[in-house]
Structure 1
Amino acid sequence: MTGLSLDLVRQDLQGRARAWVSLHPDERRRRAVQACAEKDAEALWSLVEAYLTQHAQPGVLISRHTLLSYRTGVRQLVDHMTNQAWTVLSPEREDAQTWVGDLIASGKSISTVQARVAAGITLYKALRWAGATKAVPFEDVRLPRDRRHPLEKNAPYTESLVTRVLTRAREAYGEAETPAKRSRQLEVWALLLVLTHSGLRIDEALSLRWPDVDAGDDEPHLVVQSGKGRKSRVVPISPRLADALHAYRGVIRTRRHREDFIFPYRTWQGAAYHVRPLFARRDGGNDFRGFHAFRKYMGSRLYEALGDFVAVAEVLGHANVNTTRGYVRVGVKRARQAIREW
């Protein structure tokens, strides 16, 4: 998301934060205490959002993905507080640890539990900022280490699956009965092509606008605005993808999108609604595991071609090359190849 729309989002965030910041400290404290007494999830979230906007390191530049994660965590924690009759401003010593245990027992992944605990920590930071409490219930919470390799938690899509899904997308476009349906199917195919050929995060892909595309003959590329820290980077693209985007733009030129965004979907869920059916199996199952597996698929292919983690990290937008190592498992594959040659 860039330009005017991004400015409006920032202004909206700042405006909502001001509703808390502009209060007299006594009134801010009173409202926070009342929200805790009533276990009002919406009021408590608005307090957390104001705290993040004013005091988190990114400030008003905080990403939409981070806000959604914190919002989900705060809502789930408040629901748990209600069901377990927490005294929010002075919880019992074991309350937070019990909540963590319940999350793990319910089958939540360690990374999800970590995100929920981060939301709980931030809720109490916001309450202390408002002067409503001095409690730090998450200070001594213990979390089990997640010892799984990142590729075991969410492996890349396989080459055969990606080929199958792209083929289905093209077939659905060809079989569409009306111009409107053909446009919708073309949008899905174009999104899949961008994800598999550029390795963008789904938020980055949905934030792409036509001015971000340089499909010139020399060095075609995308200018990507990253949701993580609002950094921008240049991502090289293949002539095939450049040609596909040019053709796609010509076909959907009359279809109304958000401003000049390339894709019409506003959220992860909206894009997934259209992509998920392409992953259906004959036995009734579905192989869709989200969009991040496309990113790992592209990173793995790029490493196989280059053998250079640093180069792959630059394309994917990783600040730390060790993050990239978690995307690509090459040791077993190379060992297999070497053993065959013994």
Structure 2
Amino acid sequence: MTTGERSTEIVRYTGDTLSRSRLWTELSEGELRRLAVAACRDHDRDTLWALTEAYFTTYGASGAKASAHTLRAYRQGLGVFLTHAGSRAVNLLRPARDLGPSFLREREAAGKSPGTVRLELAAVRLLYRALRWAGATTDDPFSDARPARDTTAPWDKRQPYSEEDLQALLAAAEPDTRTMLLLGAHAGLRVSELLALEWCDVDFGARVVRVRSGKGGKARQAVMSGTLALALRALGPGQPEHRLFTISDVAVRKRLRVLCLKTGVTYRAVHALRHYSGTKLYRAGSDLEAVARHLGHSTLETTRIYAKWSDESLRNSVGQW
């Protein structure tokens, strides 16, 4: 089998992430390097992504448990860079000294948000780690590249849906969409977590929803509200090994966007449902540690954002002037 045929076989393989990565790790050092060099020469984005995914799955902190959303975001970020490099005939294996900073400045000048720029930077850094792993280059043009400082406070970027917003969405939603909304807004689940739920994870007796593989592969239990319990009972139960939902995360986001348009609610993305959950818990008197356990935060610093949103003292003080 020629190198080109081997490359085509690896890139077109549609098995699970771990199996795709294994095809790369089983290559000899010489063949791995040849495939990586050829992909860089041709700016072959499919092969470059397959190589990057294999490295990320093998050496990344999340390993094979990385969510489809994470992988898709990295692939999109890598695609943006490769479009930039292709339009300038960049030699990926011998890049110019200022390639990294110039790419970031261009993206910032184009009005891209700090979060988008950071994600694209992470994707490209991952590509070059994969290329060094493959023995294709020793260069790292993004090692000293730093995005511009984000001057927006975290709590101003991640606003939750209001109580009025949530009630309007729930009133207009179909039963399965309503259950998704409540899993986010009451149980605090991320999109990837609610889509991975199987009926065996729903414990009506203990009134908990079990998340077996949350962010970073962590497991946790989220308390089930009475409203969520009613919605889940109306939806199922299905077979224990069956998932509650069989749609993609893209479809979930589209549903919420359409629902927001229908109800006149400002679309704040699906993740803002989690923000609603954390904010409401803190306002109801739960301490930061309890909120962190419910949402599966690894540090209290992330949870402190909800304290900022919940602090009404300044608003009340100024309101009395």
Does the pair score TM above 0.5?
A: yes
Q: CA-to-partner distance for each residue in 1:60-113, whole Å, 9 max, x for gaps? A: 333333322221122221111111211110111112211111211222111111
Instruction: Describe the shift of the 1:29–1:72 C-alpha distance in structure 2 as closer, same or farther (beyond 3 A).
Output: same
Cα gap change, 1:140/1:64 in structure 2, threshold over 3 Å: closer, same or farther?
same
Bigger mean CA deviation after superposition, 239-248 or 130-139: 239-248
Q: Tell whether 2:302 aligns with 1:323.
A: yes
The one-letter code of the counterpart of 1:312 is V
Q: CA–CA distance in 2 between the matches of 1:153 and 1:73?
A: 21
Look up the SS of the partner of 2:94 in the other structure.
coil
Secondary structure in structure 2 of the residue aligned to 1:222: strand
Given the two structures, how large is their TM-score scaled by the length of structure 1?
0.83
Deviation of 1:34 after TM superposition, in Å, equals: 0.5
Task: Mark the CA change 1:96 to 1:337 in structure 2 (over 3 Å): closer, same or farther.
Answer: same
Distance, in Å, in 2 between the alignment partners of 1:281 and 1:56 is 41
Counterpart of 1:246 in structure 2 is 233
Q: Give the distance between the partners of 1:337 and 1:307, measured in 2 at CA.
A: 21
Q: Is it true that 1:236 corresponds to 2:215 in the alignment? A: no
RMSD over equivalenced CA pairs, Å: 2.2
Are 1:205 and 2:205 counterparts? no
Stretch of structure 1 that moved more, 328-337 or 48-57: 328-337
Unaligned runs of 5+ in 1: 1-10, 170-184
Letter in 1 for 2:186: H
Q: Distance in 1 between matches of 2:227 and 2:306?
A: 24
Q: How many Å apart are 1:303 and its aligned residue?
A: 0.2
Structure 1 pair 327–90 and aligned structure 2 pair: CA distance change class (3 A): farther
Q: 2:185 matched to 1:196?
A: yes
Equivalence for 2:246: 264
Q: Which amino acid aligns with 1:262?
A: L
SS of residue matched to 2:217: coil
In 2: Cα distance, 1:18 partner to 1:196 partner: 38
Give the conservation status (yes or no) of the 8 Å contact 1:221–1:237. Answer: yes
Q: Which amino acid is the alignment partner of residue 187 of structure 1?
A: D
TM-superposed CA distance for 1:307, in Å, is 4.3
Residue pair 2:199, 2:241 contacting (<8 A) in 1 also: no
SS at match of 1:93: coil
Tell me which amino acid in the other structure corresponds to 1:246: R
- CA distance, structure 2, for counterparts of residue 258 and residue 327 of structure 1: 34
Percent identical among aligned pairs is 38
Q: Distance in 2 between matches of 1:276 and 1:289?
A: 9
**Secondary structure of residue in 1 paired with 2:24:** helix
CA contact (8 A) 2:288 2:303 kept: yes
Aligned-pair CA distance for 1:192: 1.2
Partner of 1:294: 273
Aligned mate of 1:275, from 256, 259, 271: 256
Find the aligned partners of 2:70 and 2:260 in 1 and give their Cα distance.
28
For residues 197-253 of structure 1, the C-alpha deviation after alignment (integer angstroms, 9 at most, x for no partner) is: 11111111111111111112xx41110123422211011112232122112216xx6
Out of 314-323 and 186-195, give the one that drifted further.
186-195
- How far apart in 2 are the matches of 1:221 and 1:331? 25
Using the alignment, how far apart are the partners of 1:236 and 1:331 within structure 2? 21
Q: CA deviation at 1:335?
A: 2.8
2: CA distance, partners of 1:215 / 1:258? 13
Q: Output the TM-score relative to the length of structure 2.
A: 0.89
1:276 CA displacement: 1.7
Pairwise CA distance, 1:135: 0.8
Which amino acid counterpart does residue 300 of structure 2 have in structure 1? V
Match of 1:181 in 2: none
1:117 aligns with 2:121: yes
Unaligned residue ranges in structure 2 (runs of 5+): 1-14
Per-residue CA deviation, residues 253-302 of structure 1 (Å, 9 max, x unaligned), is: 6xxx996111222x2211122222221168xx762121111110111000
The answer as to whether partners of 1:221 and 1:235 remain within 8 angstroms in 2 is: yes
Of stretches 301-310 and 12-21 in structure 1, the one that deviates more from structure 2 is 12-21
| 90 and 65 in structure 1: CA distance in 2 versus 1, 3 angstrom threshold | same
- Judged with a 3 Å threshold, the aligned counterparts in structure 2 of structure 1 residues 286 and 107 are, in CA distance, closer, same or farther, namely farther
1:13-162 alignment to 2 at 5 Å?
Answer: 13-162=17-166
In structure 1, give the amino acid aligned to 2:63.
Answer: G
Amino acid at match of 1:140: D
Q: 1:338 to 1:308 in 2, by over 3 A?
A: farther
Aligned amino acid, residue 71 of structure 1? R
Q: Is 2:214–2:220's contact at 8 Å kept on the other side of the alignment?
A: no
> 1:67 is matched by which residue type in structure 2?
L
Cα offset for 1:320?
A: 0.2
